Amino acid sequence: MARTLFTAAGGTFRGNLHGHSTHSDGSSTSAEAVRLYKDAGYEFTCLSDHLWTDRRYASETMNDATALDQDDFITVISAELHCLGKAYDQDGVWHIVANGLPADFRVASNTETGPDLVRRAVDAGAYVTIAHPEWYSMTTEEAVSLAEAGAHGVEVYNHSCFVGSARSSGIATVDQLLNDGYRMSLTATDDSHQIPHDAFGGWVEVAAASLTSDAIVAALKAGDFYASTGPDFLSIILDDDQLHITTTPVSQIILSAKGHLALSAAGDGMTEANFDLGNLDTDFFRLTITDANRQTAWSNAYWLEDWKQQ
């Protein structure tokens, strides 16, 4: 029986899940950020300004920019949440991105922990991701503590970290969590502070039912999206044990699974690949595509037990 794991046939909405404005430490006003992202071809952005007590870079109030919403472009109320207790950070604070928060979500107390903050954001209805783990040397124990608390995903690409420190990846973190059985999704973000210098480099394409905040957040939680710095997934279909992937032109399509298991296909201008999962000893797989310009897109992870039990 054929199962469609992902399709862009109904259209997707391009969005930035992590960005900043003058509400915290960004260089653009909320209105400027909205205009720049809309002009760049996006349908939504998240002004995830720092929510914390340190006035050097953060605000103690949420940035609700929904008054700027239009029929063809929206903002999703978001924040980059901070609290004390993170190792290997100069300020000793956690960085946690939460999309779809209520506008009155309160700043963390001095006794709130990273896992506490994740739980509170999840309980408030947000889609919560582990921000730029490579950038501030997140340990496996720290990542597990946030996954245990209910974090939904990991930033596997952060464009600002790529531009500013060459520490942009979260692949090692997400693969560790996937191997440990945590069902994490994969996001690419800008973490933009100086638009356009550190913007338009990493985004998500979300197959949501409509261009509304509720529909975008619901699709993010359901994993109905992919992350990209360039190429696109068009469809991911499983027919019994045969996986069929279609894409925009790429040079590599790689399936990554448990441990170091991988399957790959390569070719100039390739737009599809087929993989046989019948003898693959794994609980999950995810896909990575790379184009001729070395730009990349990542699918979310898919778990074999989800369709074997159907």
Q: Does domain 11-228 have CATH number 3.20.20.140?
A: yes
Residue 308 has pLDDT above 70, yes or no: no
CB 102 within 8 A of CB 112: no
Tell me, what's the pLDDT at 305? Answer: 86
pLDDT at position 2: 83
The Cα-based distances of 162 to 156, 198, 310 in angstroms read 11, 9, 41
For the segment(s) 233-308, the CATH number from 1.10.3470, 1.10.150, 2.60.40, 3.30.1370 is 2.60.40
Could you identify the residue written with the tokens 């002004």?
47
Name the token pair of 309: 């039990």
Q: How does pLDDT run across 257-292, given as a tens digit for each residue?
A: 999 999 999 999 999 999 999 989 999 999 999 999
Q: Is the pLDDT of residue 307 over 90?
A: no
By the 8 A CB rule, do 284 and 181 touch? no
Summarize pLDDT for 194-224 with one digit per residue, the tens.
999 999 999 999 999 999 999 999 999 999 9
Quick one: pLDDT at residue 1?
Answer: 73
Neighbours of 144 (CB within 10 A): 16
First-to-last C-alpha distance (Å) of the chain: 10
Q: Where are the domains of the chain?
A: 11-228, 233-308
DSSP for residue 26: -
What is the pLDDT, as a whole number, of residue 309? 54
Residue ranges of alpha helices (H) inside the chain are 30-39, 114-123, 140-148, 159-165, 171-179, 213-222, 305-308
Q: Is the pTM of this model over 0.85?
A: yes
CA separation for the pair 36, 49 (Å, rounded): 17
* Long-range contact set of residues 102-110: C-beta below 8 Å, sequence gap at least 24: 102/77, 103/62, 103/64, 103/77, 104/62, 105/51, 105/62, 105/79, 107/51, 107/52, 107/53, 107/60, 107/61, 108/51, 108/52, 108/81, 108/82, 108/83, 109/83, 110/84
Please report the pLDDT score of residue 299 as a whole number: 98
CA 69 to chain centre: 22
Residue 310 predicted with pLDDT over 70: no
- In the predicted model, what is the mean pLDDT of residues 236-245? 95
Q: With cut-offs at 50, 70 and 90, classify the pLDDT of residue 120.
A: very high
**Fold: same for 11-228 and 233-308:** no
Provide mean pLDDT across the span 27-33.
98
Q: HSE (CB half, 13 Å, CA atoms) of 215?
A: 13
The token pair that represents 218 in the structure block: 């619901």
The whole-angstrom distance between residue 47's C-alpha and the CA centroid of its chain comes to 14
